[in-house]
Amino acid sequence: MSQHTTAPVWGLRSDITPSFGARLVQEGQCLHYLADRASLRGEFTPAQLQTLEATFPAFVKRMETALKSGELDPRKAKHHYCTLNSLTCESDTNGSFGYVYITIYLADAAR
């Protein structure tokens, strides 16, 4: 996917490429992924995309655990970071009462 697109860019950040951004819907301490609220920025290699697809469910579980423990708070903006399989997931509710915004990028990318 080209970096120059008219499609909305979802997630927390758009300055790191390649990255995957999304807005997950929060229902209690469960998160729901909606494909129409997600976007890729830049180009991942096929192997990186495969790793992203395989790792994404584990990131969701980690964020649900963070909601249960209070590390992610629906009422307060506070970044939460998790690294798995050479990918970093940055998440935050932004105090939105119902959404968790995420960006996943290569772990060695600059913050």
Q: Tell me if 12 is assigned to some domain.
A: no
Q: Is residue 4 scored above 50 in pLDDT?
A: no
Q: Tell me if 26 is assigned to some domain.
A: yes
Gap between the terminal Cα atoms of the chain = 22
Give the residue numbers spanning the domain of 79: 19-106
Q: Tell me if 1 is assigned to some domain.
A: no
Q: Tell me if 33 is assigned to some domain.
A: yes
| pLDDT confidence of residue 1 | 37
Q: Tell me if 11 is assigned to some domain.
A: no
Q: Tell me if 78 is assigned to some domain.
A: yes
Query: How much is the mean pLDDT over the chain?
Result: 89
Cα–Cα dist 42/16, whole Å: 9
Q: Is residue 62 scored above 70 in pLDDT?
A: yes
pTM of structure: 0.88
Q: Tell me if 67 is assigned to some domain.
A: yes
| pLDDT confidence of residue 63 | 96
pLDDT, tens digit (0-9, with 9 covering 90-100), for 74-93: 999 999 999 999 999 999 99
Residue with tokens 């997630």: 11
Q: Tell me if 62 is assigned to some domain.
A: yes
Q: How many domains does the chain have?
A: 1
Both structure tokens of 103? 């960006």
